[in-house]
Amino acid sequence: MDTMTQTAPKTALQGTEDFFPINGTDHIEFYVGNAKQSALYYQAAFGFEWVAYMGPETGVRDRVSYVLQQGKIRIVLTAALSPEHEIARHVALHGDGVKVLALWVDDAEKSYYTAIERGAESAFAPKVLRDEHGEVVLAAIKTYGETIHTLVERSRYNGPFLPGYEARRSVYPVKPVGLKYVDHCVGNVELGAMNKWVKFYQDVMGFKLLITFDDKDISTEYSALMSKVVSNGNGYIKFPINEPAKGLKKSQIEEYLDFYRSAGVQHIALATDDIVATVTQLRANGVDFLYVPETYYDDVPERVGKIEENLEDLKRLNILVDRDEDGYLLQLFTKPVQDRPTVFYEIIQRRGAKSFGKGNFKALFEAIEREQALRGTL
């Protein structure tokens, strides 16, 4: 499949030697309790098409996997078929969550051994998978918590996903909502561990530190967090890493760590080029978003200046907007998408801006705190 190159903005990092070239995000795999029902949620609520399947009907006895796609975004939902299974243990401990952030590379074996030599821990050694559509090379390294990065080399493969998967089509009448590609994936790590994981991405994959937010940038009256954003050589992969900071009450990162029981993926930002249309459809489909009070919009014209969108649309849909030196961005965050307050999605439209919406942090974190208060976890 050659559809995974995203049109992320080029960064100043280009031109420097890249010893760990990555073409883009290949897929994101969740381990879930009930893949069949989760797959319908992604089709009905988020407008993903069902494209591939693996399970007992395809000769796999111990698990099922549903592959869903929209634009260049591929999500895999995997569940175990027995209580002893490693996937069942993972779900019992963490709840539904992201197991794999898979990276599309040209040479999986070379990438894997480069990472191992540079200090990564192996999740599994390179292996070649084949079926009638060709062959794929997979290898994987461990990152924070129980999350892994699978390295996917697929230039000699033209099947629906990976060898062993069969093509499927949605039975549900899916209406895509305009989601295009993965903009960034954020990890929450334990207090004191942020710098270790920033260094991991720098040492192992040659990522560069893009931005640092300290607890003065990201704090409310009650809670705080710190964040550093790392990015790969071509800028297509951006991984912000958060850790909790001391505040008067419990940080949203601590709440995540309590419920996920380890470090893990906090949110996945999906890009659209028409956020008003995308969010209108997502809301009509029943997707639940964080609420920001109407007063947020009072100083938007002054803070952000001229924008293409109608401010009334943004207000009605509760879309946030922020400007940096390169342009502006529009963004909105869902509530958690499973029972535990862990993984959620960001919907983002970049109009030049390359940053992450620092001007919205305070409003957003206050919104999250209102949700925490409702859950009794603030």
Q: Which stretch binds Fe ion (CB under 5 A): 44-52, 209-217, 334-342, 346-354?
A: 346-354
State yes or no: residue 270 binds Fe ion (CB under 5 A): no
Q: Which one, 73 or 269, has the nearer CB to Fe ion?
A: 269
Contact status, residue 327 vs residue 351, Cβ threshold 8 Å: yes
Q: Which stretch binds Fe ion (CB under 5 A): 10-18, 47-55, 125-133, 266-274?
A: 266-274
Q: Which is nearer to Fe ion, 29 or 346 (CB)?
A: 346
**Minimum gap (Å) between residue 240 Cβ and Fe ion:** 6
Size of the site for Fe ion (CB under 5 A): 2
Contact string (CB under 5 A) for Fe ion, positions 291-330, x = contact:
----------------------------------------
CB of 347 to Fe ion, least distance (A): 10
Helix (H, G, I), strand (E, B) or coil at 88: helix
Over the Cα atoms of the chain, what is R_g? Answer: 20
| Smallest distance from Fe ion to CB 259, Å | 19
User: Residue 335 — left, alpha, or beta (φ > 0 → left; ψ -120 to 50 → alpha)?
Assistant: beta
Query: Which is closer to Fe ion, CB of 55 or CB of 97?
Result: 97
Q: How far is the CB of 290 from Fe ion (least distance, A)?
A: 12
SS3 state of residue 55? coil
User: Which window, 21-29, 47-55, 275-283, 339-347, contacts Fe ion (CB under 5 A)?
Assistant: 339-347
Query: By C-alpha distance, which of 252, 265, 274 is closest to 98?
Result: 265
Q: How far apart are CA 323 and CA 340, in angstroms?
A: 32
Select from 24-32, 262-270, 282-290, 320-328 the region that touches Fe ion (CB under 5 A). 262-270
Closest contact distance (angstroms) between CB of 269 and Fe ion is: 4
Contacts 24+ apart (CB under 8 A), 16-21: 16/233, 18/206, 18/232, 18/233, 18/234, 19/114, 19/206, 20/111, 20/114, 20/115, 20/204, 20/205, 20/206, 20/232, 20/233, 21/105, 21/106, 21/111, 21/233, 21/234
361's tokens: 């942090």
In the bound complex, what is the minimum distance in angstroms from residue 181's beta carbon to Fe ion? 14
Question: Interface mask (CB under 5 A) for Fe ion, residues 22-61, using x and -?
Answer: ----------------------------------------
Element (H, E) at 33: none
Nearer residue to Fe ion within complex by CB, 269 or 367: 269
Among 101, 346, 347, 378, binds Fe ion (CB under 5 A): 346
Which residues 66-105 are close enough to bind Fe ion by CB under 5 A? none
Is residue 269 at the binding interface for Fe ion, with CB under 5 A as the rule? yes
We find the least distance from the C-beta atom of residue 262 to Fe ion, in angstroms, to be 20
By beta-carbon proximity to Fe ion, the closer residue of 81 and 211 is 211
Q: What amino acid is encoded at 152 in this protein?
A: V
Using alpha carbons only, give the angle 143, 39, 262 rounded to the nearest 5 degrees: 25
CB of 353 to Fe ion, least distance (A): 12
Q: Please, what is the angle between helix 252-260 and helix 361-375, to 10°?
A: 50
Distance, CA of 268 to CA of 76 (rounded, Å): 14
What is the binding site for Fe ion (CB under 5 A)? 269, 346
